[in-house]
Chains A and B, each alone.
Chain A
């Protein structure tokens, strides 16, 4: 038995528009993204000379601590308190989560001090500064709900003190810190997503506008042998 192939379709297909001119929203979004954040800005392989300072390390240290928090938090969420309150590995993971939060805040506060004293909102970086501040505030809320769900005397004390404080400022009706179910869901579901999204936005803005230079940084257009010479204009 023999089979025959169907005849090839020789009808010319309609011309595909160049992606640079395509009106599709995906193409327009891609062009807008690449115009604002080309790959060499998103993943650079070189940084300005002034970045070679320990004070510039604390932003990425904060990110590293945040990554440890997320990974250890995922393990705690999946395994549950019956694991992390009873087994050795669970205790270790619980402690890892707690202490990485301490380091996260230490690194973030030093990052904040460094950026404040170098006025890091200069050069159209206001939104970078603002997203950093919002990330800091959201992190405080996330850490606070984490303290509240320890289910020990410490969390009981914190929740009752905080309840009075929140009632005093008029928001106690919307946020009941003694409601463990509400606190658990806020800490494990909502707030990590909020902090993660703001941190991603913050990092993308840093990549787009570049790392802020020191206030007395010399532009690279000045010859190196004239740096510091008061007779040579910058």
Chain B
């Protein structure tokens, strides 16, 4: 099995991160962080103006 496939492969168990009672898989954590970052950017970043209004 080549390295590229192993990174995105789903036939192996995921890496789990644990802090006390909290346990979460690395793929789930990445997706949650990605969603939060996208949500903040969607609020903060200015939307391009319509060419008719400029």
- Contact residues of A between 103 and 124, Cβ < 8 Å to B: 106, 109-110, 113-114
Closest residue on chain A to residue B48 by CB atoms: A52
Determine which of A52, A106, A152, A153 lies in contact with B38 in the assembled complex, contact meaning CB atoms within 8 Å.
A106
**Given A54-B45, A55-B43: A110 and B35 interface contact (C-beta under 8 Å):** yes
29 pairs across A/B with beta carbons < 8 Å? A52-B47, A52-B49, A52-B50, A53-B43, A53-B47, A54-B42, A54-B43, A54-B45, A54-B47, A55-B39, A55-B43, A57-B42, A58-B42, A102-B31, A106-B31, A106-B34, A106-B35, A106-B38, A110-B35, A110-B38, A110-B39, A113-B35, A113-B39, A114-B39, A114-B42, A152-B10, A152-B11, A153-B11, A154-B10
B7: Cβ under 8 A from any A Cβ: no
Determine the chain B residues whose CB is within 8 A of the CB of A109 once the complex forms.
35
Q: How many residues of chain B get a CB closer than 8 Å to chain A's CBs?
A: 14
- Is the Cβ of B42 less than 8 Å from the Cβ of A55? yes
User: Which residues does chain B contribute within 8 Å of A52, judged by CB atoms?
Assistant: 47, 49-50
Q: How large is the interface on A (under 10, 10 to 19, 20 to 34, 35 or more residues)?
A: 10 to 19
- Whether, in the assembled complex, B41 has its beta carbon less than 8 Å from a beta carbon of chain A, the answer is yes
Residues of B1-18 at the interface with A, using a CB-CB cut-off of 8 Å, are 10-11
> How many Cβ-Cβ contacts under 8 Å join chain A to chain B?
35
Which of B10, B34, B42 has its CB near the most chain A CB atoms (within 10 A)? B42
CA distance in complex: A113, B45 (Å)? 17
Measured in the bound complex, the distance between the Cα atoms of B41 and A114 in whole Å is 12
Chain A residues whose C-beta falls within 8 Å of the C-beta of B45 in the assembled complex: 54
Shortest Cβ distance from A58 into B: residue: B42
Q: Select which of B11, B39, B47, B49 is within 8 A of A154 by beta carbon.
A: B11
Question: Chain B's interface: helix, strand, loop or mixed, by majority?
Answer: helix
Bound CA–CA A109/B43 (angstroms): 15
Q: Which chain B residue has the least Cβ–Cβ distance from A152?
A: B11
Nearest-neighbor residue (CB-CB) of A150 within chain B: B10
- Flag A48-82 by CB within 8 Å of B: 1 or 0 each: 00001111011000000000000000000000000
Given A152-B10, A153-B11, A154-B10, A54 contacting B41 (CB threshold 8 A): yes
Task: Name the residue on B nearest A110 (C-beta).
Answer: B39
Q: What A residues does B38 contact at CB under 8 A?
A: 106, 110
Q: What residue in chain B is nearest A95 (Cβ atoms)?
A: B8
Which of A52, A54, A57, A110 is the most central at the interface, judged by chain B CB atoms within 10 Å of its CB?
A: A54
A106 to B37, CA, bound (A): 11
Q: Tell me the complex Cα distance, A57–B42, Å.
A: 9
The 6 A-B pairs at the shortest CB distance, nearest first, are namely A54-B42, A55-B42, A52-B47, A154-B10, A110-B39, A53-B47
Question: In whole angstroms, how far apart are the Cα atoms of A52 and B54 in the complex?
Answer: 14
